[in-house]
Amino acid sequence: MSVVITVAQQKGGAGKTTLAANLAAALAEGARVAVLDIDPQRSLARWHELRAGQKGVPAITLSDLSGWRLAAEIDRLRRLHDVLVVDSPPQVESDAKAAIRAADLVLVPVQPSPPDLWAAEGTLKLARAEKRAFRLVLNRAPSSGSLRAAVEAEMARQELPVLTASLGNRVGFAGAFAKGLGVTETAPRSTAARELRAVLEEIRAVLR
- Note the pLDDT of residue 12: 77
Q: Is it the case that residue 194 has pLDDT exceeding 70?
A: yes
CB 137, CB 19: distance < 8 Å: yes
pTM to 2 decimal places: 0.95
C-alpha distances (whole Å) from 154 to each of 10, 59, 115, 118 are 19, 40, 12, 11
User: For the chain, which residues make up each domain, given as ranges?
Assistant: 3-207
pLDDT tens-digit series, residues 85-110? 999 998 777 899 999 999 999 999 99
C-alpha 19/C-alpha 39 separation (Å) is: 14
pLDDT tens-digit series, residues 66-90? 999 999 999 999 999 999 999 999 8
- ∠ Cα 105 76 46 (to 5°): 75
Average pLDDT value for residue range 5-21: 91
Element (H, E) at 107: strand 105-110
The class that CATH gives domain 3-207 is alpha beta
Helix (H, G, I), strand (E, B) or coil at 33: strand
CB 34, CB 64: distance < 8 Å: no
Q: Is it the case that residue 191 has pLDDT exceeding 90?
A: yes
Average pLDDT value for residue range 148-176: 95
- Note the pLDDT of residue 1: 61
